[in-house]
């Protein structure tokens, strides 16, 4: 399902995957997926491990061949990442099925409004574009696109929300994202050690992703989740320090991507998260500045290249935007079927591919998103949900920035899709809790069996107790 809408269901593709899965490495990965599914069925906390692995696999959704995915091509990464990259689609499907299984298990609670309205609006936009591709002579993209978008809405949009009941599960989800950040950073270090050239494109860091822009945005979107865990005073000192270090590592690697969009997304997310706590914002900025100076002292040459990319003023997107808008002018009502990956703007892409019909759905979705963020930010006494409210608002604002410069709004099952639905799941829960008649400052009963965060926190989410 990872970008599979761009592929044909030919015998060659199936044969290719069967051959890859029959290798020793492929067999090991299959066994690992079976073990993970068994663990999720047996122990509920393993679902957070499945989420972490799914987010990590989604970073391999594209290769480096120029924006289109070729199932037969192996991403130019050293082993073992090349093996994982070559099997991203089947492994990704397996992880989504595992998440679906975890979501269908009986929960010890009931949710009144599990699906955030923005999730439904996002699906409406995606479905309109897929149907436009179907009408434009691209039946595979259209039919498969609608099927995938619908499946993602059910599995991630509704499924992840069912996992959440109170602040305990919110922090479990944040830990899953924070651990993904750590795995991504460690994987990047391993690629640098094994084959440094494979980790850079035009002297800009890519890590295990396909391009510097995506790497930077991946890290920027994960950063507020690390902030939530680092800023939570209910956590132990070791736990807060651990996730602060993870966030600092993510910010450090982000600098080396040289992505202006990623830097802007990081700054916006951090500022909104600490909008009520200037002291914490200043402290976070000071820590990041110290990290920047430390990195500068050991990697001045590489950082200089990244700095030049971040502060360059040349316009690299307007030509693509103007070309895409021409498709809108040619058919302003329903747009024109085109390859949206080259547009580098979700808003322009929606206009070009679905016209005023799609723009209407986009306007409604953006209104719902801003209304949700505004209402959450207005609560003066969110109680134990304060950090979660800050995270939801910061992440939603981040996506408005990312969508302006990348066509991620219509992505299939990439990293940004997981991050979006994690954000919306948290936003749906805190909105529901803020709207209840009960006092939100009163802690809710933990009916999940998970540990509370004021005590020995569960670092991995699978029952391994520690002070982290």
| Mean of pLDDT values over 81-105 | 88
Q: Which has more confidence, 22 or 373?
A: 373
| Mean of pLDDT values over 366-390 | 89
Quick: pLDDT tens for 407-420: 887 777 788 999 99
Q: Give the separation between CA 406 and CA 346, rounded to whole angstroms.
A: 6
Tell whether the torsion through CA atoms of 176, 181, 185 and 187 is positive or negative: positive
Look at residue 254 and tell me whether its pLDDT is greater than 80.
Answer: yes
Element (H, E) at 205: strand 204-205
Q: Give the separation between CA 288 and CA 294, rounded to whole angstroms.
A: 10
Look at residue 340 and tell me whether its pLDDT is greater than 60.
Answer: no
| Mean of pLDDT values over 243-249 | 90
Look at residue 246 and tell me whether its pLDDT is greater than 50.
Answer: yes
Look at residue 449 and tell me whether its pLDDT is greater than 70.
Answer: no
Three-state secondary-structure class, residue 449: coil
CA angle in degrees (0–180, nearest 5) for 135-138-143: 80
No. of helices (H) and no. of strands (E), the chain: 18, 2
Q: What is the DSSP string of 121-135?
A: HHHHHHHHHHHHHHH
Q: Which has more confidence, 299 or 185?
A: 185
Mean pLDDT, the chain, whole residue set: 79
Three-state secondary-structure class, residue 200: strand
Confidence of residue 291 (pLDDT cuts 50, 70, 90): low
């Amino acid at each position: 399902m990872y970008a599979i809408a761009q592929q044909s269901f030919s015998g060659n593709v199936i044969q290719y995957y069967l051959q890859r899965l029959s290798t020793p490495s492929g067999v090991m990965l299959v066994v690992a997926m079976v073990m993970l599914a068994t663990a999720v069925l047996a122990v509920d906390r393993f679902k957070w491990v499945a989420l972490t692995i799914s987010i990590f696999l989604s970073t391999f959704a594209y290769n480096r061949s120029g924006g289109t995915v070729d199932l037969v091509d192996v991403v130019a990464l050293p082993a073992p990442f090349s093996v994982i990259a070559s099997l991203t689609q089947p492994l990704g499907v397996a992880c989504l099925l595992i998440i679906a299984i975890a979501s269908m298990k009986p929960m010890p609670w009931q949710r009144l409004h599990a699906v955030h309205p923005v999730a439904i609006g996002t699906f409406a936009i995606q479905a309109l574009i897929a149907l436009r591709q179907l009408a434009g002579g691209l039946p595979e993209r259209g039919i498969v696109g609608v099927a995938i978008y619908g499946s993602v809405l059910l599995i991630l949009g509704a499924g992840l929300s069912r996992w959440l009941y109170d602040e305990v599960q919110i922090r479990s989800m944040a830990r899953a994202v924070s651990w993904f950040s750590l795995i991504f950073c460690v994987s990047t270090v391993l690629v640098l050690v094994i084959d440094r050239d494979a980790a850079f494109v035009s002297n800009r860091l890519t890590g295990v992703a396909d391009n510097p822009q995506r790497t930077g945005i991946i890290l920027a979107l994960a950063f507020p989740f690390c902030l939530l865990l680092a800023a939570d005073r209910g956590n132990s000192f070791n736990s807060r320090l651990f996730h602060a270090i993870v966030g600092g590592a993510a910010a450090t690697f982000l600098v080396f991507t040289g992505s202006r969009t990623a830097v802007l997304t990081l700054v916006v997310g951090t500022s909104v998260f600490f909008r009520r706590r200037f002291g914490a914002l200043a402290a976070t900025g000071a820590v990041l500045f110290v990290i920047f100076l430390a990195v500068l002292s050991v990697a001045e040459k590489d950082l200089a290249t990244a700095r030049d990319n971040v502060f360059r003023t040349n316009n690299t997107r307007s030509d693509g935007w103007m070309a895409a808008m021409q498709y809108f002018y040619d058919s302003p009502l329903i747009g024109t079927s085109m390859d949206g990956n080259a547009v580098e703007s979700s808003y322009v892409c929606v206009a070009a591919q679905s016209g005023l019909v799609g723009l209407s759905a986009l306007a409604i979705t953006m209104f719902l998103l801003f209304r949700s963020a505004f209402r959450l930010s207005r609560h003066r006494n969110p109680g134990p949900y304060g950090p979660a409210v800050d995270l939801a608002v910061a992440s939603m604002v981040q996506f408005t920035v990312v969508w302006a410069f990348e066509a991620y709004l219509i992505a299939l099952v990439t990293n940004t899709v997981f991050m979006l639905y994690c954000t919306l799941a948290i936003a749906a829960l805190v909105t529901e809790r803020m709207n209840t008649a009960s006092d939100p400052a009163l802690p809710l009963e933990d009916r999940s069996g998970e540990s509370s965060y004021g005590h020995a926190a569960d670092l991995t989410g699978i029952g391994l107790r520690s002070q982290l």
